[in-house]
Chains A and B, each alone.
Chain A
Amino acid sequence: MIVVELREDIGPLRRRTAFLFLLVFAALGLLHLRLVDLQLVHGAEWRDLAENNRLRRLPLPGPRGWIYDRRGKVLAENVPSWELLLFPDEAENLNATGLFLARAGVTDAPTFNDRIAERRIGRMAPLVVGEDLSWNQVAAIRSHQSDYPELTVVSRFRRHYPYGILTSHIVGHLQPVSRGAVEADPTLEPDTMVGATGIEVAEDSFISGRAGERWVMVSAVGRQLGVVSEVAPRAGHDVGLTLDVGLQKAAAAALGDQSGAVVALDPRSGAVRVLYSAPSFDPRVFGGRLSRSDWQALQEDPLHPLQNRCLQGVYPPGSTIKPFLALGGLAEGMIDPNETVYCNGSVVLYGHRFRCWRRGGHGFVNLERSLAESCDVYFYLLGQRLGIDGMAKWLHRFGFGERTGIDLSFEASGLIGTPEWSHQVRGTPWYPGEAVSVSIGQGPVLATTIQLARAFAFLASRGESVTPHMVAEPSGTTAFEKIDPDHLTLIINALTEVVHGPSGTARRFASLPMAGKTGTAQVVRLQEGVVADDLAPELRHHAWFVGWAPLDEPSLVVSVIVEHGGDGGSTAAPVAAQVIQAHLGQPASHPDAQSTPPPIRTPDNPQGAG
Chain B
Amino acid sequence: MEHRIDPWLMLAVVGILGASLMTLHTVSRVVGSNLLLRQLLWGLIGLVVLWLMSLVRLDIYERLAPIFYGFGLVTLVVVLFVGEARGGNKAWIAIGPVTIQPSEFARLATILLAAAWLAHRGGRNLRVSDVMTAVAIVAVPVLLIVFEPDLGVGLTYLPVLTGVLVLGGLPRWVWIMLILLTVLGVHATWQYVLKPYQKDRVLTIFEPERDPFGAGYQVRQSKIAVGSGGSGGQGLGRGSQSQLRFLPAQHTDFAFAVWAEATGFVGGSVLLLAYALLLSRIAKVALTTDSRHGLILAVLIGAWLVFQVVVNLGMVLGWLPTTGVTLPLFSYGGSSLISTCAALGVVQSVWRHRLVNQ
- Listed in ascending order, the chain A residues whose CB lies under 8 Å from chain B are 2, 6, 9-10, 12-14, 16-21, 24-25, 27-28, 31-32, 34-36, 38-40, 42-47, 49-51, 53, 55, 217, 225-228
B224 contact set on A, CB distance < 8 A: 46, 49-50, 53
In the bound complex, CA of A21 to CA of B301 (Å): 12
A9 touches B319 (CB 8 A): no
Cβ < 8 Å to A, chain B residues 285-324: 286-287, 290, 292, 295-296, 299, 302-303, 306, 309-310, 313-314, 317-319
A44 touches B260 (CB 8 A): no
A31 touches B314 (CB 8 A): yes
B244 touches A39 (CB 8 A): no
B276 touches A25 (CB 8 A): yes
A35 touches B231 (CB 8 A): no
A35 touches B226 (CB 8 A): yes
> Which of these, A20, A39, A43, A47, contacts B163 with CB under 8 Å?
A20
In the bound complex, CA of A57 to CA of B213 (Å): 16
In the bound complex, CA of A43 to CA of B231 (Å): 8
| B225 on the A face (CB < 8 A) | yes
B306 touches A27 (CB 8 A): yes
Q: A6-B292, A228-B213 are in contact. Are A20 and B303 (CB under 8 A)?
A: yes
- Expressed in whole angstroms, the minimum distance between the Cβ of A120 and any Cβ of chain B is 19
Which residue of A has the minimal Cβ distance to B222?
A38
B227 touches A10 (CB 8 A): no
- Expressed in whole angstroms, the minimum distance between the Cβ of B234 and any Cβ of chain A is 9
Which residue of B has the minimal Cβ distance to A215?
B245
Identify which of B15-23, B62-70, B265-273, B338-346 touches chain A.
B265-273
Cβ < 8 Å to A, chain B residues 152-200: 163, 166-167, 169
A18 contact set on B, CB distance < 8 A: 283, 287
Q: A31-B313, A35-B317 are in contact. Are A13 and B229 (CB under 8 A)?
A: no
In the bound complex, CA of A176 to CA of B290 (Å): 78
A226 touches B213 (CB 8 A): yes
> Which of these, B124, B167, B279, contacts A17 with CB under 8 Å?
B167
A227 touches B227 (CB 8 A): no
A35 touches B265 (CB 8 A): yes
- Expressed in whole angstroms, the minimum distance between the Cβ of A465 and any Cβ of chain B is 54
In the bound complex, CA of A45 to CA of B244 (Å): 19
- The 10 lowest CB-CB distance pairs between A and B, nearest first, are A46-B227, A43-B230, A50-B228, A226-B213, A21-B283, A39-B265, A47-B228, A38-B227, A34-B317, A46-B228
B245 touches A24 (CB 8 A): no
A40 touches B231 (CB 8 A): yes
A14 touches B287 (CB 8 A): yes
27 A-B pairs within 8 Å (CB atoms) are namely A6-B290, A10-B290, A10-B295, A16-B166, A17-B299, A20-B163, A20-B166, A20-B302, A20-B303, A21-B279, A24-B279, A25-B280, A27-B306, A28-B279, A35-B226, A35-B260, A36-B265, A39-B226, A39-B264, A39-B268, A40-B230, A46-B227, A50-B225, A50-B227, A53-B221, A55-B246, A227-B213
| B122 on the A face (CB < 8 A) | yes
B244 touches A55 (CB 8 A): yes
A225 touches B213 (CB 8 A): yes
A42 contact set on B, CB distance < 8 A: 227
B309 contact set on A, CB distance < 8 A: 28
A32 contact set on B, CB distance < 8 A: 269, 272
> Which of these, A2, A17, A35, A50, contacts B283 with CB under 8 Å?
A17
In the bound complex, CA of A225 to CA of B314 (Å): 27
A27 contact set on B, CB distance < 8 A: 306, 310
B319 contact set on A, CB distance < 8 A: 34
A24 touches B226 (CB 8 A): no
A31 touches B245 (CB 8 A): no
In the bound complex, CA of A47 to CA of B232 (Å): 12
Which residue of B has the minimal Cβ distance to A9?
B292
With most chain B CB atoms within 10 A of its CB, the pick from A14, A40, A44, A50 is A50
- Expressed in whole angstroms, the minimum distance between the Cβ of B263 and any Cβ of chain A is 10
A36 contact set on B, CB distance < 8 A: 265
| B336 on the A face (CB < 8 A) | no
> Which of these, B213, B265, B279, B296, contacts A13 with CB under 8 Å?
B296
Which residue of A has the minimal Cβ distance to B358?
A6
In the bound complex, CA of A32 to CA of B244 (Å): 27
> Which of these, A13, A25, A43, A227, contacts B292 with CB under 8 Å?
A13
Which residue of A has the minimal Cβ distance to B286?
A17
B290 touches A35 (CB 8 A): no
A39 touches B229 (CB 8 A): yes
Which residue of A has the minimal Cβ distance to B217?
A228
Beyond A21-B302, A47-B230: 5 further Cβ-contacts under 8 Å?
A: A6-B292, A28-B272, A38-B227, A44-B230, A46-B226
- How many residues of chain B have a CB within 8 Å of chain A? 53
- Expressed in whole angstroms, the minimum distance between the Cβ of B312 and any Cβ of chain A is 10
Which residue of B has the minimal Cβ distance to A50?
B228
Q: B194-213 CB contact bits vs A (8 Å, 1 = yes)?
A: 00000000000000000011
Which residue of B has the minimal Cβ distance to A35?
B268
B240 touches A12 (CB 8 A): no
A10 contact set on B, CB distance < 8 A: 290, 292, 295
> Which of these, B217, B240, B272, contacts A35 with CB under 8 Å?
B272
With most chain B CB atoms within 10 A of its CB, the pick from A13, A32, A225 is A13
In the bound complex, CA of A226 to CA of B211 (Å): 10
In the bound complex, CA of A227 to CA of B228 (Å): 23
Q: A16-B166, A43-B227 are in contact. Are A51 and B240 (CB under 8 A)?
A: yes
| B332 on the A face (CB < 8 A) | no
- Expressed in whole angstroms, the minimum distance between the Cβ of B115 and any Cβ of chain A is 12
- Expressed in whole angstroms, the minimum distance between the Cβ of A153 and any Cβ of chain B is 22
A13 touches B295 (CB 8 A): yes
In the bound complex, CA of A42 to CA of B226 (Å): 10
B228 contact set on A, CB distance < 8 A: 43, 46-47, 49-50
In the bound complex, CA of A27 to CA of B275 (Å): 12
- Expressed in whole angstroms, the minimum distance between the Cβ of A523 and any Cβ of chain B is 64
A24 touches B306 (CB 8 A): yes
B352 contact set on A, CB distance < 8 A: none
Which residue of B has the minimal Cβ distance to A54?
B244
A226 contact set on B, CB distance < 8 A: 212-213
B303 contact set on A, CB distance < 8 A: 20
- Expressed in whole angstroms, the minimum distance between the Cβ of A40 and any Cβ of chain B is 6
- Expressed in whole angstroms, the minimum distance between the Cβ of A21 and any Cβ of chain B is 4
In the bound complex, CA of A346 to CA of B21 (Å): 96
With most chain B CB atoms within 10 A of its CB, the pick from A12, A14, A31 is A31
A228 contact set on B, CB distance < 8 A: 213, 217
In the bound complex, CA of A47 to CA of B265 (Å): 13
| B241 on the A face (CB < 8 A) | yes
Which residue of B has the minimal Cβ distance to A52?
B224
In the bound complex, CA of A18 to CA of B287 (Å): 8
A50 touches B269 (CB 8 A): no
In the bound complex, CA of A9 to CA of B246 (Å): 54
B223 touches A46 (CB 8 A): yes
In the bound complex, CA of A19 to CA of B302 (Å): 13
Which residue of A has the minimal Cβ distance to B239?
A50
Which residue of A has the minimal Cβ distance to B225?
A50
Which residue of A has the minimal Cβ distance to B279?
A24
- Expressed in whole angstroms, the minimum distance between the Cβ of B301 and any Cβ of chain A is 12
A16 touches B169 (CB 8 A): yes
Q: A9-B292, A28-B276 are in contact. Are A50 and B167 (CB under 8 A)?
A: no
Which residue of B has the minimal Cβ distance to A216?
B213
A14 touches B265 (CB 8 A): no
B230 contact set on A, CB distance < 8 A: 39-40, 43-44, 47
B268 contact set on A, CB distance < 8 A: 35, 39
- Expressed in whole angstroms, the minimum distance between the Cβ of B102 and any Cβ of chain A is 28
A50 touches B245 (CB 8 A): no
- Expressed in whole angstroms, the minimum distance between the Cβ of B16 and any Cβ of chain A is 14
- Expressed in whole angstroms, the minimum distance between the Cβ of A503 and any Cβ of chain B is 80
> Which of these, A2, A24, A31, A45, contacts B302 with CB under 8 Å?
A24
Cβ < 8 Å to A, chain B residues 226-268: 226-231, 240-241, 244-246, 260, 264-265, 268
